[in-house]
Structure 1
């Protein structure tokens, strides 16, 4: 499957071209409460081409945005996300008095403005219908060309491929290697995300040869920006958005 992830995004907001070809990790998470609408809006305002979201299901099976499987770290609540209905999650507050957004809200915010990197937080099989719910929402919103979906749970991506043959999907593995290529071919994945500390030029070359989009995280120092600017075909995942804009010159 040909990747669309790194295509230039020409949509505008207030006349400003989305000119920073990189992924804002959980939005502008270094400055705003992570995975909130405020963080995503800030990253769009800075011109980033992609925003990254982490998706779980509420007890009533609504796709909601949060990194952890519990609400403890980022809200004033406690317990597992799937112990709460959406209505109950709405009552919780993050720092900055923000609330937990739904995937639908983030897709509405992003539509026609930026691409959305959707990470499914499928922990073992905690959410049996997560893949179906997310695929159905993307189809309902008509945003199949504006998103890609990936996960550390590679079986989850196989399931997603079965229910959504045309969605762009990818794998996440900190120490990704060519050993993943046969599985990627099997499920028609088009991207692979890995940690910077395991990144090598040789692996970048191998991904390029096979037509896979390589994604590397975190690119949050001047040195990392300068290093990755030498490989503009690699998509960077970023927390320190303003630092990246100042120091990444491909």
Structure 2
């Protein structure tokens, strides 16, 4: 088991416990990545959450999944093309007038509750400023007292490399889709590559996970998490396989 599973499990739980993580603040129950969703999650006892981070044009990290605001707000346009003031004029669809939260606002909710989090980097690794964004993200998490209570994750492993190079001691997760891995042998190769670049956790699409992959990650000393099973049978299978953590929209079913 990796560091993430250990900190999510907490001292009162057995080392082999599977941690249930509320995906985007339990998006199957509440409006994704809204402050109200995270507050509801914490109130329901889901103290491990996952959320996504983009940067605005004026370099403010905000909690939103997509590159654009089109799907989740009453506005249109790319997050990276908007200043925070532009974003503040928009409202999250399905809420009573909520705005896209800043990272700082969300951490102000999570920290006093003792929550832990998977923080997913959604800003691409190619544009100028990527490494500066990674540094700014690390700075804010440290200043909020969350360094030991988060893992920073990314599908683009260049972001994992960028955070690792900061030397801040963050737990790091490389995320893969099922098509990116081929059984236990693929898991071994991925785990070894992840360790080379400073990562400690592998986040894998749940449908690709089997007993061989679980065993391979354990043998390589890399933590394994599953995303995003939402049906009770799939959640039960992940727990039976012994994955370290499960990201789900429906933590109530787990």
Of structures 1 and 2, the one with the larger relative CO (CA 8 A, separation 6+) is 2
Identify the residue that residue 184 of structure 2 maps to in structure 1: none
| More helix by percentage | 2
Question: In 2 relative to 1, CA 64–116 (structure 1 residues): closer, same or farther, beyond 3 Å?
Answer: same
Q: Distance in 1 between matches of 2:78 and 2:36?
A: 23
Match of 1:230 in 2: 240
| C-alpha distance in 2 between matches for 1:58 and 1:27 | 21
1:125 matched to which residue of 2?
126
- Output the TM-score relative to the length of structure 1: 0.88
Q: Do residues 144 (structure 1) and 147 (structure 2) align?
A: yes
User: What is the number of residues matched between the two proteins?
Assistant: 237
Does 2:169 align with 1:159? Answer: no
SS at match of 2:21: strand
Contact 1:117–1:149 (CA under 8 A) maintained in structure 2: yes
5 Å-filtered alignment, 1:1-250, equals 3-7=3-7, 8-9=9-10, 21-95=19-93, 96=95, 97-112=97-112, 113-126=114-127, 127-128=129-130, 129-175=132-178, 176=181, 177-244=187-254
Q: Distance in 2 between matches of 1:161 and 1:215?
A: 20
5+ residue gaps, structure 2:
182-186
Instruction: Call closer, same or farther: CA 1:20–1:29 in 2, change over 3 Å.
Output: farther
1:55–1:66 contact (8 Å) kept in structure 2:
yes
SS at match of 2:202: strand
Aligned partners of 1:94 and 1:49: how far apart in 2?
Answer: 23
TM-score, structure 2 length as denominator?
0.87
Partner of 1:15: none
In the other structure, the counterpart of 1:248 is none
SS in structure 2 opposite 1:189?
coil
CA RMSD of aligned residues (A): 2.1
Supply the distance in 1 between the matched residues of 2:223 and 2:18 (Cα, whole angstroms): 17
Paired with 2:167 and 2:99, the residues of 1 have a C-alpha distance of: 30
Distance across 2 between alignment mates of 1:174 and 1:61: 29
Does the 8 Å CA contact 2:21/2:251 hold for their aligned counterparts? no
